[in-house]
Amino acid sequence: MAKATVAVANKDKTLHPPYFEMISEAILTLKDRTGSSQQAIAKFAEEKYKKVLPPNFKKVLSVQLKRFVKSERLVKIKNSFKVSSTEKVKLAVKEKETIKKKKDDSTKTRKAIPPKAIPPKKIAEKKGVKTKRLSQVKTPEKNPKKIKKKSLTPIKRKTPKPQGSSRPAKKSRN
């Protein structure tokens, strides 16, 4: 029982930010075109959070990187990692919200009058709207009448029979 309570107590006392936040911060700060390697991410995190990281940080980092790639929050290209496009959008929205909160906090300290309640903006998703293509090449539209079912067995090719042979024809005995 003592071990279980110690483990629960350690989880509550993590002084470093979540791993995804550290990883995404490292990738975005390093700004490498091909992505950041595991070693570069580990080095960046160790420099920034030297005092609060656990001793098995590199092992946990590798496990977390694999987990984020599997959940598609990160994209692995060769031996480098990039933040996925959906996560970039989420991070941009979070940054805008934090900037907005900071502005609201600074205006509250300057003015005694509370600002009007502003509802948070939501990103409107347009359904049914097609994105504009860069090239004007038309793709052939599929006609359901023309589509044939593909057979699962391979098609046997006909081999041409030789017309003439180099051997003379057999003579029949009468």
Six token digits for residue 29: 């700060």
The CATH architecture that domain 13-83 belongs to is: Orthogonal Bundle (1.10)
Q: Has this prediction a pTM greater than 0.75?
A: no
At residue 90, the 3 state secondary structure works out as: helix
What CA–CA distances, in Å, run from 18 to 40, 49, 53, 59, 158? 18, 12, 11, 15, 64
Q: Are 27 and 76 in contact (CB under 8 A)?
A: no
pLDDT in tens, the chain (174 residues): 455 444 444 554 667 788 888 898 899 899 888 999 999 999 999 999 888 888 899 999 999 999 999 998 899 999 899 988 888 888 888 888 888 888 777 666 555 555 555 555 544 444 555 666 566 666 666 665 555 556 667 677 777 666 666 677 777 776
End-to-end alpha carbon distance in the chain: 105
pLDDT at 8: 42
Question: What residue ranges do the domains of the chain occupy?
Answer: 13-83
